Amino acid sequence: MKRQRVYVDTSVIGGCFDPEFAPWSKGLMRHFREGHFVPVVSDLVAAEVAAAQQVVQEQYLETLAARAEVLSGSDASDALAARYQAHGIVPESFAADAEHIALATVSQVDLLVSWNFKHIVRFDKIRLFGAVNREMGYKEIEIYSPREVTSYEER
């Protein structure tokens, strides 16, 4: 059976250290370590993590150690992110959020996981991302919070 490729943005990695989100972020990380999913990150995640606390940086390294795939931006992902912004889905001041979605879409990951309920994990936004993806010749991307894709991890 093919393992699903799961793009995690920085919020999921940092979520391992937030009492509200830790049980599910840690559960997802356990699933990566156990080989249930293929973790997918990007150069963008690496840049965001570089500015984060040391524990978040260490968690990122553990994610990489779980045989993570690392995506790099491309002309195609830049164009798709710009299209999301042109449609007003993601404000320009939050361009990185559009870039995460575009990278995952262009790279055909199976799903994107995030705790960003303002710009990413929202029913109305997900539908708009899907419409732009179809318009640009890409598949719709599955977007969920870690709570929806993993089991609860006891603290």
Q: What is the CATH number of the domain that holds 131?
A: 3.40.50.1010
Residue percentage of the chain with pLDDT more than 70: 97
Specify if 72 maps to a domain.
yes
Provide the domain count of the chain: 1
Whole-angstrom distance, CA of residue 42 vs CA of residue 49: 11
Specify if 39 maps to a domain.
yes
The angle at the Cα of 62, spanning 110 to 99, to the nearest 5 degrees, equals 45
* Total-model pTM: 0.94
Domain that holds residue 34: 4-149
Whole-angstrom distance, CA of residue 39 vs CA of residue 70: 9
3-state secondary structure (DSSP) of residue 94: helix
Alpha-carbon Rg of the chain, whole angstroms? 15
Checking if the pLDDT of 149 tops 80, the result is: yes
